[in-house]
Structure 1
Amino acid sequence: MPTFAEDLAVALRLADAADGITRARFLASDLVVDRKPDRTPVTDADTAVEDAVRAVLAQRRPDDEILGEERGGTIGAGRTWVLDPIDGTKNFLRGVPAWATLIALVDGGVPVVGVVSAPALGRRWWASAGEGAWVAAEGAVAPRRLRVSAVGQLADAYLSTTDLNAWTTYHSRERYLALVESCWESRAFGDFWQYCLVAEGALDIGVDPIANAWDLAAVQVLVTEAGGRFSDVDGKAGFDHGSGIATNGALHDAALAVLRRT
């Protein structure tokens, strides 16, 4: 069996391939945009990235399973690569640079390798089990190891979500607003970026009332390897329960208590 270090090297190579496609298609005048049955947008770049990543995996990890946002699949009992070719497709097609390719390896139901590559932001984050979480910034001399913040009180916390309207549809808008009122500042960096910022210690809480496995598998590794904590909004540990909340760990129970309050 390959080591996690070897798997991380493969994941970084996959991210390189993805970046080559997304850089070329971002802001392209001939970008092809369609809508999936759930009315969410998909571009020709989304499908091209997933197809390219699957092709590399077929060569490098032919025995592993794959779950991707655009081409489907399932998470097996063993090793599964979980792919979001472009997280933040709405940003991508509108010309907003906050989008990324998310690549994770899940082993026995637990994410053990995660890569988040955001070339338009000039950032790439990665982590593997037991080896910490890291970020490389464009132009930086060396990668920087990540560590969550030491903020210990909600009243001092920075909070982010993706879309306030989603709380109305999938959870309790009032409970999220109660969490906003409990914190010092709230933002909406959204999608992958808020979780990366939690891992960096720039934010203290990132939360989404609805999210898919491919949205969360990679960022769970980042957050936990940076010393944080990750669960769904009901407190169940894991990335595949339909929602996500990442914190610096110290604030997790307090944040959940506000979201659960009736």
Structure 2
Amino acid sequence: MLNPHLLSADYLDAAVTAAHAAAAILQTHALHRSDLVIDTKQRNDLVSQADREAEAAIIDILQARTPSVGIIAEESGGQAGAQATWCIDPLDGTTNFLSGIPHYAVSIALIGHAGCQPDGRAPLPQDTPLIGVIYDPNREELFSSLYGIGAWLNGRRIQCSTTRTLDDAVLATGFPFRDFSFEPQYMPGFLDAMHQTRGVRRFGSAALDLAWTACGRYDGYWEMGLAPWDVAAGTALVRAAGGVCEDLYHQAPWPRGGYVIAANAHIASALDAMITRHL
């Protein structure tokens, strides 16, 4: 049986401590952006020494505080644990960061694997994000959540919005930027959203798009072509805040394939229908 304390304040505090440590590194580098060494992994997919140093700081803290849990990280890879795995994005919104746009975040999630018992009782029927921590160092906003307990922004409980129709909804999205193979599926849904909602925003950080959906700033969000570390913590947050966050194709137990749709419970079905009918 998985350690029942996985959902305790100790594990959440470990993630929060790691997020703050990574953010301190990012903000130090942000003062000297022109000196950063930047590598290109593939087209429109950049990594800098800031990403790598922030990730190393997160891993050091999590390994020391939670040695029995596996770690998968964007830059260094890693290995999943037998029953639970940390999923880390040290800098979500790298292009914003490198361009001096103050909209990026550190994202850390704990994924419980199918069969584990995070509360000491019922085994999880499928892989499930249990803890979500997203820290925005520019606004000093810390989003956190615990599976089955709730979600918070700087210690105050948050909930998804109460908007009831797409007509009144403000949505977030992310345009294709690296993999353009799904562009023919994406664009018709985007055009529908333009015409059928109050507005669509694109700020360039999937983690913050999900965090802002969890706290009600956005009514819904969708994006394609991401990675699991982009959406793991945000999935935990949205679900803990009473919303819906799923794989666009409704095949995976959470959007680990990077095709994500999230919304408050009132408009989730309508948003899903509007986007998925083009897939």
Q: Same fold (TM over 0.5)?
A: yes
Residues 97 and 67 of structure 1, relative CA distance in 2, 3 Å threshold = same
Shift of 1:62: 1.8
Q: 2:101 pairs with 85, 96, 99, which one?
A: 96
In the alignment, is residue 248 of structure 1 matched against residue 261 of structure 2?
A: no
Q: Which runs of 5+ in 2 are unaligned?
A: 114-126
Q: 1:166 to 1:24 in 2, by over 3 A?
A: closer
Residue 102 (structure 1) shift: 0.4
Query: Match for residue 140 of structure 1?
Result: none
- Structure 2 counterpart of 1:202, from 217, 233, 250: 217
Contact 1:129–1:221, Cα closer than 8 Å, also in 2: yes
The percentage of aligned residue pairs carrying the same residue is 33
Partner residue in 1 for 2:232? 217
- Give the counterpart of 1:106 among 104, 111, 114: 111
Letter in 1 for 2:264: N
| Residues 217 and 183 (structure 1), Cα distance of their counterparts in 2 relative to 1, 3 Å cut | same
Matched, 1:127 2:145: yes
- Whole-Å separation in 1 of the counterparts to 2:217 and 2:42: 36
Query: Structure 1 residue aligned with 2:167, among 155, 174, 177?
Result: 155
Instruction: Please state how far the C-alpha of 1:101 moved relative to its aligned partner.
Output: 0.6
- Match of 2:135, SS state, is strand
Structure 1 residue matching 2:250: 3-state secondary structure? coil
Contact 1:167 1:173 in 2 (8 A): no
Cα deviation for residue 123 of structure 1 reads: 1.1
Measured at CA, do residues 105 and 59 of structure 1 come closer, stay the same or move farther in structure 2, by a change above 3 Å? same
Aligned-residue CA RMSD (Å) = 1.8
CA drift of 1:77 comes to: 4.4
Q: TM-score, normalised by structure 2?
A: 0.86
In the other structure, the counterpart of 1:25 is 29
Tell me, in whole angstroms, the C-alpha distance in 2 between the residues paired with 1:172 and 1:135: 31
Instruction: Kindly indicate whether the alpha-carbon contact (under 8 Å) linking 2:193 and 2:200 is maintained by their aligned counterparts in 1.
Output: no
TM-score by length of 1: 0.91
Matches of 2:176 and 2:31, distance apart in 1: 27
Q: 5+ unaligned residues in a row in structure 1: which ranges?
A: 137-142
CA distance in 2, matches of 1:131, 1:243: 26
Task: State whether structure 2 residue 77 is matched by structure 1 residue 72.
Answer: yes
Count of matched residue positions in the alignment of Structure 1 and Structure 2: 256
CA, structure 1 residues 75+180, in 2 after alignment: closer, same or farther (shift >3 Å)? Answer: farther
Q: Is the 8 A contact 2:170 2:220 kept in 1?
A: yes
Q: CA deviation at 1:65?
A: 0.9
